[in-house]
Structure 1
């Protein structure tokens, strides 16, 4: 398998992990959600921080091996 194929496999696995975590943790305390009239603003800051930490750990482990 070429290096390019491995990169696509790793990216796919990362997207699967992010999707699973997003469905499990969905809206965490610390996520910003404003609703006024028919306008809704949602910024998942806490979810983004957790996803960043997990992705950093995954990439660190991949680089290690």
Structure 2
């Protein structure tokens, strides 16, 4: 359980930092992705994109 929480947290950090590049492919605009502004800072939580990318990575790793 803790391992999966750590994986999801790291994926959120990676997706947030790579967001400008990933938006060219449509990732980051899925229905489960949350964007809001708090104290003048824009915060982005890509929950649906994280699940999608983890699933793709899992399937690729499973096939190898």
Scaled to the shorter chain, the TM-score interval is 0.5 to 0.7
Which residue number corresponds to residue 25 of structure 1? Answer: 27
Q: Could you say which structure has the greater relative contact order, defined with CA pairs below 8 angstroms and 6 or more residues apart?
A: 2
Query: How many correspondences in the alignment?
Result: 44
Q: For the pair shown, which has the larger CA radius of gyration, 1 or 2?
A: 1
What secondary structure is seen at the aligned counterpart in 2 of 1:26? coil
* Structure 2 residue 57 is the aligned partner of structure 1 residue 39: no
TM-score using structure 2 length:
0.55
Unpaired runs of at least 5, structure 1: 1-18
What secondary structure is seen at the aligned counterpart in 1 of 2:26? helix
Unpaired runs of at least 5, structure 2: 1-20
